[in-house]
Amino acid sequence: MQATNFVLNDYLARIGFVGNVEPSLDVLVKLMRAQLQSVPFENLDVQARKIVSLVPEDIVNKIVYSGRGGYCYEVNGLFSMALTTIGFEFDIIGARPMFYPYRRPKSHMVLVVKMGDQRWLCDTGFGSFGLRAPLGLHQLGEIVQQDNETFRLCKNERDEFVLQALVKGEWANQFGFDFYPMEMIDFSLANYYNSTHPDAVFVQRYLVMLQRPDGRTLLSGNQLKQLRGSEELITEVEASELDAVLQQEFHLRRP
């Protein structure tokens, strides 16, 4: 996926990336971290009763030139444009969210980057317990520390990869995936569901998250959760305070 209005230097300025870019693991790590710490995961359009646009040019305008964020199709879509421009080889993959009490379709979008004989899972749009850097698929079974978060990849009974996060001392499934490549158009129905269906979590409440070098800040409904190291501060947000919180914590304005 590529947009006619995507300009690499403008994207790099948006995420605060400084330095040369080339299709290397070091650049991949720095790009992913920079985007995660500058482009918030957010569902403000859905909460404004808008259907999220998957048109590539709309994604670029929204995130790069309007200072917004987005959910997985948008932020990972933008990340894929940058990877394509730089010269990375990757596949867009559908992933199945696994933290729900019931089985869900493959409604999440991730990227699997190919470098030599290794593949690296990249995801800039999963929400609270999302990756903070690329995770090598060759690290299957290993416990991987990324800042203050702990992850591991395992295989399930269907021989799919499953990303797990260590949450309050217990391993929690986040999403499962295989290597079947998809296109942006393949996520149209899932995007419509996530934008409109009353059972979709994005329709039910505000979800805004931004990673910090030492933690993350998450707005879920009317709760603001600020994680710094091992400390978590939870604050109730009144309706009258919402705009100020969005601006102060995420540099966002409601559409």
- Compute the distance between CA of residue 84 and CA of residue 130 in angstroms, rounded to an integer: 22
Above pLDDT 90, what percent of the chain?
88
- Per the CB < 8 A criterion, the answer to whether 129 and 172 are in contact is yes
**CA–CA separation, 145 and 156 (whole Å):** 22
* pLDDT recorded at residue 230: 76
The per-residue pLDDT for range 88-142, each reduced to its tens digit, is 999 999 999 987 767 878 999 999 999 999 999 999 999 778 999 999 999 999 9
For the chain, what are the domain ranges?
A: 8-250
- Average pLDDT taken over every residue of the chain: 95
CATH fold group of domain 8-250: Arylamine N-acetyltransferase fold (3.30.2140)
191 pLDDT higher than 90: yes
Could you tell me which residues come within 8 angstroms of residue 142 by beta carbon, excluding any fewer than 6 positions away? 152, 153
Span 21-78, pLDDT tens digits: 999 999 999 999 999 999 999 999 999 999 999 999 999 999 999 999 999 999 999 9
| pLDDT for position 174 | 94
